[in-house]
Amino acid sequence: MQWCNRVNTGLFIASPAMYTELNSILNTSPESFTKGDFILLSDKQSDASFLIHHFLSFYLRAKCKVCFLAMVQSFSHYSTVSQRLGVSLAQAKEKGQLVFLEGLQESLSILIPQDEHTGSQAMNFLRDPKLGLQDLYEFVSSKVKRSCGGEAESEEWGPPVLLVDDLSVLLTLGVTVGAVLDFSHYCQATICSKLQGNMVMLVRCDQEEDEGDNESPACLLKGLTHQSSLTLDVQGLPTGYCRDIHGQVEVCWQRRQGDGQNTQNKLFQYKVHDKGASFFARGTSSAVL
Amino acid sequence: MAAPMERVIKQQTERSTFKTTSFQKKTRSKLLSIPGTRPSVQNGQLLVSSGVTSLDFLLGGGLAVGTVLLIEEDRYDSYSRVILKYFLAEGVVCRHRLFVAAAQENPDDILQELPAPILDDVAIPKPVEQPRLPCESQESLDSMKIAWRYQNLPKVQTALVSSSRFGHYYDVSKTMEPEIRQAAKSHCFYLPDHPQKTSNTHSQFLGPYSALLKSLQEVIRQEGFEVAASMSNSQNPNVLRIGLHSLGSALWGDDLCCSDSPEHRHSLVTFLYGLRALLRSSLAVAVITLPSHLIQDRALMGNITRLSDYSIALESFKGSERETNPLYRDYHGLLHVRQVPHLNCLASQLPDHKDLAFKLKRKQFSIEGSMSVQGRTSAVWLCPSP
């Protein structure tokens, strides 16, 4: 896979900075990946956002139409990191390959009432969380379906992909677990089943949570795990903090692959560095060996 | 012998250029050069000093512009208040603008209690004519006998020069003089002055914090702190330092700290979300103190932490049994670093955050890690106290 010198598209910068080990673990590559997948990322007391950056650059390289709901960070943050991974978000946005919803920016016009309503309707759940996420779903489906309309220039992009970073902030802002599960179900029905695209969603949990709490991220995680086809669960090391090994990732395939592939759960340790992350089997970190 | 000397001189000049922030990372985007800020070594982000040099080191060089530092207060709100005052004092010395909000007391009172900077390179404006004692003759005052080379240099500097150094030291036993403090413009938000409007339905969700968020947005817009405005503006860009005292306490109208299942469960979190949205698009840094020991719900505390960028917790030994523990004899409390963000990068190198203890000395707020704590215990055993 040589991703260098694509001067004609100008989209890719000459660097093979990818999470090659993760691609081999998941048996995927930007040229060939399973369609209709719902990939669930979760973390507990650690930070799984490096995986979101990976999937963002992965699907952009795969020439899919990507819809990214960025709820917690600004566009420049993702843009800077993607630059290091070799993908330019600004150019993707210009070409229409990337639809970027910057939740932070859109929320201000709702949180601080202005005389003129300039914000998009997607963040309407901030007006009253009991409304649920219907407006957000309408936004996603309108952006995603447009790619499969009759427009000529959109046919060069592959299947649609939805990325959400992250779902737990919706819970903290007052949306109920039921509403979030409805949203993900609707999105899965539209994107994964109907349009044969993929979905990647991130849920962040806290370790100290009551078991009986019905509105906790852990509860949401259980519901989403049931819906998903692949989960990547990121946790800190059980033995505590380590400088060379940032944590462990457990990869679980929920649905059996068509040809009866091995769907055993796999556990890896990882280390995040400047231009990617390296994954290795437990105990085989280069710092240890 | 000339070669090693050259290397030493070169190293010194390199170090001094780093300190005076003339280092410019070559990027395509314009790098704003604002006094009192420096680009981060790791990812080129613009950093400001928090006022406490040891805290700057722990947080990776300083507070990134556009972020929020959450300080979980110690039980009597003594040390968290000190850090907030350090932060504001640093803003005064660097000629940044200040925005202080409080519900418990008038923000002007907080501003009057700022610690005095220890000045090497920050000049205090003194009156031009100094009163002289009649017994001293004119000659002996005028002529310098030892430092006669400096005879002809001007004795007083009447203008306050903004310091180009990053991070200053303060003397907590003295308060900052009014002349220095008034050199920096400040905005105050005192909650009783802003009664809650019940007419507007949008602000109901934010509850008691809607007026604060609106006021912040107005200040940022009108004073030109938005990044887009600063880049195109011909005037000198500046940083706004926001200090929010004791958010979440009952005096703000919030019942987070009062009950197990608060009615305004989402107000503070939504406010933090709106604050993050405001800050990410402006040249501003916020420091919030929060009485977390009053919040019963740990999950809620986790949400609040996740919506801030930097988060530290202070635990003072005052009144606890640790005060008399010989292990902690030299310290005033423990400092826990709960969260440090990875902004604009995948990973960052940070110093070890385990077992930190702090001590408020007169001229320094020092934070030390586990190694020095262990070192001191061995010293206790080796040199028994009389």
A280 pLDDT higher than 80: yes
Give the B-side interface with A, CB within 8 Å.
43, 200-203, 205-206, 210, 213-214, 217, 265-266, 269-270, 273-274, 276-278, 280-281, 298-299, 302-303, 306-307, 342-347, 354
How far is residue B309's CA from residue B292's CA, in Å, rounded to a whole number? 16
- Residue A41: its pLDDT value, please? 95
CATH number of the domain to which A45 belongs: 3.40.50.300
- Residue A67: its pLDDT value, please? 95
Domain boundaries, chain B: 48-118+167-369
CATH 3.40.50.2000 assigned to B48-118+167-369: no
Range of the domain at A200: 37-148+156-205+214-248
How far is residue A254's CA from residue A38's CA, in Å, rounded to a whole number? 10
CB of A115 less than 8 A from some CB of B: no
Within 10 A of B245 (CB to CB), how many other CB atoms are there?
24
Among B91-105, B123-137, B301-315, the least confident range:
B123-137
Q: Is residue A14 part of a domain?
A: no
- The CA distance from A149 to the nearest CA of chain B, in Å, is 34
- The CA distance from A252 to the nearest CA of chain B, in Å, is 24
The average pLDDT across B110-136 equals 63
Residue B123 identity (one-letter amino acid): A
- Residue A212: its pLDDT value, please? 63
What pTM value is reported for the model? 0.83
- Within 8 A of A77 by CB-CB distance, chain B residues are 343-344
pLDDT in tens, A83-111: 999 999 999 999 999 999 999 999 988 88
User: What are the CA-CA distances from residue B190 to residues A89, A277, B254 (Å)?
Assistant: 42, 47, 15
Q: Is residue A264 part of a domain?
A: no
Q: Residue A165 is encoded by which pair of tokens?
A: 């970073």
How far is residue A31's CA from residue A266's CA, in Å, rounded to a whole number? 24
Q: Could you tell me which residue, A146 or B15, shows the higher pLDDT?
A: A146
B53 pLDDT higher than 80: yes
- Is B344–A81 a contact, with Cβ atoms under 8 angstroms apart? yes
- What distance lies between CA B117 and its chain's CA centroid? 13
pLDDT in tens, B67-112: 999 999 999 999 999 999 999 999 999 999 999 999 999 999 999 9
Q: What DSSP letter does each residue of B273-337 carry, written as one string? A: HHHHHHHHTBSEEEEEEE-GGG---HHHHHHHHHHSSEEEEEEE-TTSGGGG-GGGTT-SEEEEE
Q: Is residue A241 part of a domain?
A: yes
The angle, 0 to 180 degrees and rounded to 10, between the axes of the packed helices B267-280 and A103-111 is 120
pLDDT in tens, A7-30: 344 444 444 556 888 888 888 888
Q: Could you tell me which residue, A149 or B295, shows the higher pLDDT?
A: B295
- Dihedral of CA atoms B171, B172, B178, B181 in degrees, nearest 10, equals 80
Q: Is residue A16 part of a domain?
A: no
Contact B226, B28 (CB under 8 A): no
- Within 8 A of B277 by CB-CB distance, chain A residues are 104-105, 107-108, 111
DSSP state of B226: B
Q: Read off φ and ψ for residue B249, nearest 5 degrees.
A: -75, 165
Among A108-112, B289-293, B381-385, the least confident range:
B381-385
Residue B278 identity (one-letter amino acid): L
pLDDT in tens, A54-69: 999 999 999 999 999 9
Q: Is residue A15 part of a domain?
A: no
Q: Read off φ and ψ for residue B158, nearest 5 degrees.
A: -85, -20
B294 pLDDT higher than 70: yes
3-state SS assignment for residue B41 = coil
Within 10 A of B232 (CB to CB), how many other CB atoms are there?
8
